[in-house]
Amino acid sequence: MLIKRAERFTSNDVTDPALYLSRRELMAGAAAWALLPGASAAALPAPAPLQATRNVGRSLNEPPTKYEHATTYNNFYEFGVDKDDPARLAGSLRPRPWSVRVDGLVQKPKTFDIDELLRLFPLEERVYALRCVEAWSMIIPWIGFPLAALLGRVEPAGSARFVEFTTLLDPEQFPGQRPGFFGSSLDWPYVEGLRLDEALHPLTLVTVGMYGRVLPNQNGAPLRLVVPWKYGFKGIKSIVKIRFTEKQPVSSWQLDYPQAYGFYANVNPAVDHPSWSQAVEARLPSLFKSTRTQLFNGYRDQVASLYAGMDLKRNY
Ligand code: MTE
């Protein structure tokens, strides 16, 4: 299946480094998401190289966002709420040893060691668009394997309808999980969920690397979820638990602000956030929202059938 070149990538997006060099003055008083820390973040050393075969048919034909932007402008509230906090503080995360428990409504519950997962599934590189609910976007060459391959190993029961994902809970490694940590508002651990058919969709990826390297801590080491037609917050990082359920899971952001963040969180230019439009986005490092947002982030042909007959305004 060929992913069509998305319209938005040919728009008149403007990238002018001079603009973000003076960003602090420019954006004074603006929301934190608009600040691009760039060189100011004391980035961690780049992780080891990781081999993978490019899956051309599932990759956008677009130049990726620069590595230094994708690894210094992050959302990972376990390290703080500022975009440069994860790059500064994620050295406390220990991605080895690491295991992932897969259980719930399955025939064969199992705990997988991260290195076992790396041996079990051939690694693919896929260039996907990442659209954050905060109206910025990046193009990222992920390395990983289809979530469906992992889920198949535990043989889901017929009664399973949803899949719930949980991030590690460890305030020692994640300062943002400590009681009273400044700016931290979420109920820990971070939880996300997908409908079973979304979880089994061939575009849904478990990622263990990016840009030809092992996944950096600030991007969710040692493994995270990537669901390219949904807002970035569905891409839960540093996963330790995957559970099959009958009931729809409640995600962390849904719990925090249900009027703004729904369970589905499909990218949709026609459904605005209560505080801003979702019709346009800024493709980093540009801060101009000059790129038109596309329904399902440009993956309409691949995923629209999952939502046939559903009211996407009600099921946001
Ligand atoms: N996962 C956890 N555990 N904690 C988080 O704060 N932030 C989410 C998502 N996964 C988040 C998370 C949000 S809001 C986004 S946009 C993406 O991660 C950002 O991924 P990136 O930092 O790799 O760009």
Query: Could you give the CA distance from residue 198 to residue 213 in angstroms, rounded to a whole number?
Result: 27
**Among candidate residues 224, 117, 112, the one with its CA nearest the CA of residue 168:** 224
Residue identifier of the C-alpha nearest atom 23 of ligand 1: 219
The pLDDT confidence band at residue 12, using thresholds 50, 70 and 90, is very low
Answer yes or no: is the C-beta of 236 below 6 A from any ligand 1 atom. Answer: yes
Nearest CA, atom 12, ligand 1: 236
Whether the pLDDT of residue 288 is over 70: the answer is yes
**33-81 tens-digit pLDDT:** 344 544 444 557 889 999 999 999 999 999 999 999 999 999 999 999 9
Which candidate, 237, 286, 224, places its Cα nearest to that of 23?
286
Name the residue with the closest Cα to ligand 1, atom 13.
Answer: 233
SS3 151: helix
Model confidence at 184, pLDDT cuts 50, 70, 90, reads low
Ligand 1 contacts CB of residue 75 (under 6 A): yes
The domain defined by 7-307 carries CATH number 3.90.420.10: yes
Looking at residue 43, its pLDDT comes to: 58
φ, ψ at 200 (rounded to 5°)? -90, -5
Residue 130 makes CB contacts below 8 A (sequence gap 6+) with 137, 138, 139, 140, 226, 228, 232, 235
Nearest to 55 by CA among 120, 3, 5: 3
Predicted local confidence at residue 46, as pLDDT = 87
Euclidean distance between CA atoms 59 and 36, whole angstroms: 26
Tell me the per-residue pLDDT of 87-129, one tens digit each, with 9 for 90 and over: 999 999 999 999 999 999 999 999 999 999 999 999 999 999 9
Lookup result for tokens 């260039």: 127
Q: How far is CA 97 from CA 112, 215, 308, in A?
A: 11, 15, 42
